[in-house]
Amino acid sequence: MKLSGYNIDILVTGFPGKSVCHGSLGWSTIVLIRHRDRLALIDVGAFGHRKLLLSALEERNLSPSDITDVLLTHSHYDHALNWVLFPKARTVIADIEMNWALEQPWGETPVPELYVRELNLLPSLVRAKDGEEVFPGITMHLAPGHTPGCVAFKLAGAEHDIIFTGDAAKNRAELVSRDTDMTYDPMVSANSIEMIWNLWTARGGNIVVPGHDVPMDLDPDGKPRYLARREAAISAWYGDTIDETTIINLVID
Ligand SMILES: [Zn+2]
Model pLDDT for residues 11-45, shown as the tens digit of each residue: 999 999 999 999 888 999 999 999 999 999 999 99
In a 3-state reduction of DSSP, which class is residue 243? coil
C-alpha of residue 76 to centroid of ligand 1, in Å: 5
Distance from Cα 124 to the centre of ligand 1, integer Å: 23
Amino acid letter, residue 184: Y
**C-alpha of residue 5 to centroid of ligand 1, in Å:** 30
pLDDT at residue number 252 = 84
Mean pLDDT of 158-169: 97
How far is the centre of ligand 1, averaged over its atoms, from the C-alpha of 220 (Å)? 31
Asked if residue 253 has pLDDT above 90, the reply is: no
- Which CATH number fits the domain 2-249, given the four candidates 3.90.190.10, 3.40.50.720, 3.40.50.1100, 3.60.15.10? 3.60.15.10
d(CA 141, CA 195): 9
Q: Tell me the per-residue pLDDT of 205-251, one tens digit each, with 9 for 90 and over.
A: 999 999 999 999 999 999 999 999 888 999 999 999 999 999 999 99
pLDDT value for 24: 86
Distance, in Å, from the CA atom of 170 to the CA atom of 172, rounded to the nearest integer, reads 7
pLDDT at 216: 97
Residue in 116, 119, 168 with CA at minimum distance from that of residue 147: 168
Q: Does the pLDDT value for residue 115 go beyond 80?
A: yes
Spacing, Cα 73 to ligand 1 middle (Å): 9
The predicted pLDDT at position 1 comes to 84
Distance 137 CA to ligand 1 centre (A): 25
Residue 138 has pLDDT above 80, yes or no: yes
Distance 78 CA to ligand 1 centre (A): 7
- Distance from Cα 141 to the centre of ligand 1, integer Å: 16
| Å from CA of 28 to ligand 1 middle | 9
Distance 59 CA to ligand 1 centre (A): 28
Cα 183 to middle of ligand 1, angstroms: 9
Residue (of 245, 250, 251) closest to 226 by Cα position: 251
Residue 193 Cα, ligand 1 centroid: separation in angstroms? Answer: 15
Label the pairing between strands 6-12 and 246-249: unpaired
Cα 216 from Cα 206, distance rounded (Å): 9
What is the Å distance from ligand 1's center to 168 Cα? 8
Q: Model's pTM, two decimal places? A: 0.96
Query: What pLDDT, on a 0 to 100 scale, did the predictor assign at position 62?
Result: 98
For residues 108-137, average pLDDT: 98
Q: Rounded CA gap, 161 and 65, in Å?
A: 28
**Residues paired with residue 27 on neighbouring β-strands, in sequence order:** none
Q: How far is the CA of 147 from the centre of ligand 1 (A)?
A: 7
Read off φ and ψ for residue 96, nearest 5 degrees. -60, -40
pLDDT at res. 98:
98
Q: Whole-number mean pLDDT of the chain?
A: 96
Q: Tell me what percent of the residues of the chain surpass a pLDDT of 70.
A: 100
Separation of CA 213 and ligand 1 centre (Å): 13
First vs last Cα of the chain: how many Å apart?
23
- What is the predicted pLDDT for the residue at 143? 98
pLDDT, one tens digit per residue, over 59-95 is 999 999 999 999 999 999 999 999 999 999 999 999 9
The predicted structure's pLDDT at residue 199: 98
Pairing verdict, β 233-236 and 246-249: antiparallel
Q: pLDDT: is 2 or 169 the higher one? A: 169
**What residues have CB less than 8 Å from 97, skipping those under 6 apart?**
72, 74, 75, 147, 148, 149, 150, 151
Dihedral angle sign, alpha carbons of residues 64, 67, 73, 74: positive
- What does the alpha-carbon distance between residue 100 and residue 109 come to, in Å, rounded to a whole number? 12
Give SS3 for 178.
Answer: coil
Report the pLDDT averaged over residues 153-166.
97
pLDDT at 142: 98
| Strand duo 125-128 + 90-94: pairing | parallel
How many Å lie between the centroid of ligand 1 and the Cα of residue 101?
Answer: 12
